């Protein structure tokens, strides 16, 4: 400002009238006069901007709360009473609400409801509606952006989240890698891992520590670690030694990443509300931990793939089958290794611990299963017999317990799809592009309309009476492994692992809740059924455990 004043003084003419005029101009430009005016101007601009922002937000709220729902082509579909929309802006309905709607809202396979930010969803409630979604038009519906980004950042871009032609190409190679003959060869690997787990649990149970007294154990990490070790050997010819809990090991790191805690679930909730891209940029401990672990996991996957590519093709594992198919680039192979470390372990391990939870609460069923195991397998050493696969597969109560665990306590509560086809329909109802559709294996597998009045009761007996369908009236009432071309590629692998785990863990130990008078079969008090993730047991859950010495 001083230089500006100087320039005016320098150029001022001598005429007195001009001097008066120029002095007046100088007074208008003086800092003491100009700054308050600039302040008033900036305040006015900020005020107008704030008012405009508030009006825009108000307009947006009015649109999403009142106008958009009235314009929807789905407005004629049956809907639940979710209260005043304003109170539900930050709420995503969970499985308890969806299950209640199935019971109370008459519908023809579709229910319309609203989730976060009052965004519309369609809930496919019937087996026929899910058949339209998964079997008749499997590539007309894809995973929504939120689920894709979360999965991609935790498990990498692998088979379960691929779409369209890319999925078809990858699926063809995986069909060979997971065929029945190859999976049948996994029994020795699985049983070796399971027997190591039994030793680990026996050791933990005998110890009296600050976190637990003797006779108690937490099997969450042990089962997950054994699953990682088994897949490492069978799928990648790489022993990860996760049960050994070595520092900086990929097995231990991945288990740390995939454990379920209240803090972790809160982070997922934030990601859903503000968007995954923004959430992943926040300085949250969970985000930093995830990035650090994924860096280690990805580097290990790089090493495993490079080792397979530079050696001869003599390895007989999943990865070598993928390499031999010539369908994958180096990066795609790395992505699939990272992806299947979670996909081939986490859901199966979760189902196993839920099964142990259920059997700990139903001691009569547990005793009956143990008696069958001991009858067919006199001691744990007999698990190494050559014909053990046939023995396990023909044990009726063991397989009934496994099927009922998968039915009653599906890990998948709510699954999501988004329409990408202009010609898609569900139950003859046109689904516009962009529409989000949910379906629930949990709800369908516990629906009395299809499973009878005891649908929400844990009852393995139903599979002894009807080993094929368990008494359900529709083949798509059981969706634990999905349906159609996207049906879980690891279904047989998962069932084999569950046979091995249940036979060893129930044969070797007696299980009971810490407090038998508390809790429930559903287990909401020990797990988290968040609407965007698997229904998993929270870290820290413990059981009473007693060795069956005569079998060990």
- In contact, 120 and 435? CB cutoff 8 Å: yes
- At 335-366, the pLDDT tens digits run 999 999 888 888 999 999 999 999 999 999 99
State the pLDDT at residue 545: 95
Question: Is 42 a residue whose pLDDT tops 80?
Answer: no
Whether residue 391 has pLDDT greater than 80: yes
- pLDDT, greater one: 359 or 29: 359
Higher pLDDT, 65 or 160: 160
Q: For 277-317, what is each residue's pLDDT tens digit?
A: 888 888 878 788 888 888 888 999 999 999 999 886 778 89
**pTM, to two decimals:** 0.87
How does pLDDT run across 86-96, given as a tens digit for each residue?
Answer: 777 888 999 99
Q: Is 419 annotated as a binding residue?
A: no
Q: What is the pLDDT of residue 365?
A: 99
Q: Which residue, 412, 507, 513, 540, is CA-closest to 194?
A: 507
Average pLDDT score, the chain: 88
The whole-number pLDDT of residue 511 equals 97
User: Span 124-148, mean pLDDT?
Assistant: 94
Q: Let me know: does 160 contact 150? Beta carbons within 8 Å.
A: no
Output the pLDDT for position 247.
63
pLDDT confidence of residue 35:
60
Tens of pLDDT along 393-448?
A: 999 999 999 999 999 999 999 999 999 999 999 999 999 999 999 999 999 999 99
- 197-225 residue pLDDT tens: 999 999 988 876 666 677 899 999 999 99
Interval 455-466 mean pLDDT: 98
**For the residues 486-511, what does the mean pLDDT come to?**
97
- pLDDT of 8 > 50? The answer is no
DSSP alpha helix (H) spans, 237-362: 250-258, 262-274, 276-279, 285-310, 318-325, 330-343, 346-361
Give the pLDDT score at 27.
54
Stretch 483-506: mean pLDDT: 96
Instruction: Calculate the alpha carbon distances from 261 to 74, 167, 208, 274 in Å.
Output: 37, 32, 24, 20
> Tell me, what's the pLDDT at 7?
41
What pLDDT does 49 receive?
80
Give the strand pairing for 543-547 and 110-114.
Answer: unpaired
Q: What is the pLDDT of residue 481?
A: 95
Span 505-532, average pLDDT: 90
Is residue 416 within 8 A of residue 143, CB to CB? The reply is: yes
Q: Which two tokens stand for residue 286?
A: 């969970």
pLDDT, tens digit, 9 for 90 and up, residues 48-60: 788 788 878 877 7
156 vs 148: CA distance, rounded Å:
10
């Amino acid at each position: 400002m001083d230089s500006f004043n100087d320039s005016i003084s320098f150029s001022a003419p001598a005429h007195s009238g001009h001097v008066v005029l120029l002095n007046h101009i100088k007074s208008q430009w003086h800092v003491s006069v100009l700054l308050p005016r600039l302040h008033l101007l900036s305040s006015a601009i900020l005020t107008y901007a704030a008012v405009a922002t508030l009006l825009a937000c108000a307009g947006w709220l009015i649109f999403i709360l009142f106008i958009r729902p009235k314009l929807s082509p789905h407005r004629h579909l049956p809907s639940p009473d979710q209260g005043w929309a304003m109170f539900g802006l930050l709420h995503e309905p969970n499985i308890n609400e969806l299950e209640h709607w199935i019971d109370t809202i008459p519908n023809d396979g579709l229910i319309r409801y609203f989730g976060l930010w009052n965004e519309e969803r369609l809930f496919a409630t019937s087996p026929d509606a899910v058949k339209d979604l998964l079997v008749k038009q499997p590539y007309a519906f894809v995973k929504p952006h939120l689920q894709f980004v979360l999965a991609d950042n935790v498990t990498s871009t692998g088979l379960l989240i691929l779409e369209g032609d890319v999925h078809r190409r990858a699926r063809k190679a995986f069909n060979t890698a997971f065929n029945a003959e190859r999976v049948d060869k996994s029994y020795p690997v699985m049983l070796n891992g399971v027997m190591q787990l039994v030793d680990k649990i026996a050791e933990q149970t005998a110890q009296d520590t600050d976190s637990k007294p003797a006779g108690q154990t937490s099997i969450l990490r042990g089962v997950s670690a054994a699953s990682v070790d088994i897949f490492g050997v069978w799928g990648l010819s790489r022993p990860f030694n996760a049960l050994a809990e070595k520092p900086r090991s990929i097995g231990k790191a991945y288990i740390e990443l995939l454990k379920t805690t209240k803090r972790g679930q809160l982070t997922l909730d934030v990601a859903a509300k503000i968007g995954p891209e923004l959430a992943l940029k926040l300085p949250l401990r969970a985000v930093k931990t995830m990035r650090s672990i994924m860096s280690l996991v990805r580097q290990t996957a790089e090493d495993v793939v490079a080792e397979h590519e530079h050696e001869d093709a003599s390895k007989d594992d999943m990865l070598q089958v993928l390499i031999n198919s010539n369908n994958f680039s180096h990066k795609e192979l790395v992505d699939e290794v990272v992806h299947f470390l979670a996909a081939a372990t986490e859901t199966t391990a979760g189902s196993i611990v839920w099964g142990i939870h259920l059997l700990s609460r139903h001691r009569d069923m547990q005793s009956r299963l143990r008696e069958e195991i001991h009858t067919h397998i006199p001691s744990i050493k007999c698990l190494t017999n050559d014909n053990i696969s046939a023995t396990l597969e023909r044990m009726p109560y063991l397989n009934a317990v496994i099927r009922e665990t998968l039915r009653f306590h599906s890990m998948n509560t709510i699954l999501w799809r988004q329409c990408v086809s202009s010609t898609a329909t569900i139950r003859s109802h046109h689904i516009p592009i962009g529409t989000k559709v949910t379906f629930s294996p949990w709800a369908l597998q516990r629906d009395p309309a299809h499973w009878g009045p005891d649908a929400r009761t844990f009852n393995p007996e139903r599979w002894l009476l009807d080993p094929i369908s368990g008494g359900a009236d529709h083949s798509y009432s059981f969706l634990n492994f999905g349906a159609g071309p996207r049906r879980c590629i690891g279904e047989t692998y998962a069932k084999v692992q569950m046979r091995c785990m249940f036979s060893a863990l129930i044969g070797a130990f007696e299980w009971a809740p810490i407090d038998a008078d508390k809790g429930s079969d559903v287990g909401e008090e020990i797990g988290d059924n968040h609407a965007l993730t698997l229904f998993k047991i929270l870290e820290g859950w413990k059981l009473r455990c007693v060795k069956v010495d005569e079998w060990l």
